[in-house]
Copies of this chain bind each other. A is one copy, B any other.
Amino acid sequence: MSPPKISDSAVRRLSHYLRFLDQFEMEGRFTVSSEDLAAAGGMTPAQIRKDLSHFGSFGKRGLGYPVAELRARLSAILGLDRSWRVCLVGAGRLGAALQQYDGFRRRGFEIVAVFDTDPKKVGRRWGPLTVEDVAAMDRAVASRAIEIGIVTTPAGGAQESADRLARAGVRAILNFAPVAIEAPAGVTVRDVDLVVELESLSYALTRDRG
């Protein structure tokens, strides 16, 4: 309902709440308190109530939140009450791992195309898909109504892949290449940098002792 002013980390917490609600629902529970949710996720009850309050008032005082309904509401808030058509750029091993990963499909993310520049890969069968030339991206994105692109190319090709995706009309990009990529306004980018994650662990270990 209300304000679009919510932090990025808060949005990510909503995703987690949704998971916990799935779990509670499977366990047959009908209501949960902010306390219960907090316990499931190692967060504080106050934070959960505050996060939810940005979007409305879903609970009953004295009782807690109705599991099924809150689940549905969060799902809608996150845009998961529909399916999203997704393409991969980069038919390498990481792309293959994502293609095969079931967690995306379960949440409504359907990978409907894979693109690569390598002529040796183009045309090859690739799980349920066939690898297509990146040159075909424009038409494919339009005709198959693809809205999200996932970049799993090496660093060198990442920016160009993103440019193509943006030109083709994709509105969001998840980038796994180890460079920050730029995209025009209107295209949301999220960088997932695995080396940075390992380096932050290295930092933590280095502080620990010595």
Please give the residue numbers on chain A whose beta carbons come within 8 Å of chain B beta carbons, in ascending order. Answer: 4, 8, 11-12, 14-16, 18-19, 41-42, 77-80, 84, 86, 92-94, 96-98, 100-101, 103-104, 107, 109, 147-148, 171-172, 174, 178-180, 182, 186, 188, 190, 192-208
Contact = CB atoms under 8 A, between A and B. Distances in A.
A195 B97 contact: no
Given A77-B203, A79-B205, A180-B42, A15 B109 contact: no
A194 B4 CA distance: 23
A98 B12 contact: no
Given A171-B205, A180-B41, A205-B79, A12 B200 contact: yes
B194 A192 contact: yes
Nearest to A4: B207
A194 to B, nearest CB: 7
Contact of A93 (B77, B97, B180): B97
Given A190-B197, A192-B192, A195-B103, A202 B96 contact: no
Contacts of A147: 205
Contact of A199 (B80, B94, B98): B80
A199 B84 CA distance: 10
Contacts of A103: 178, 194-195
Contacts of A174: 197-198, 201
B198 A79 contact: no
Nearest to A108: B202
B42 A199 contact: no
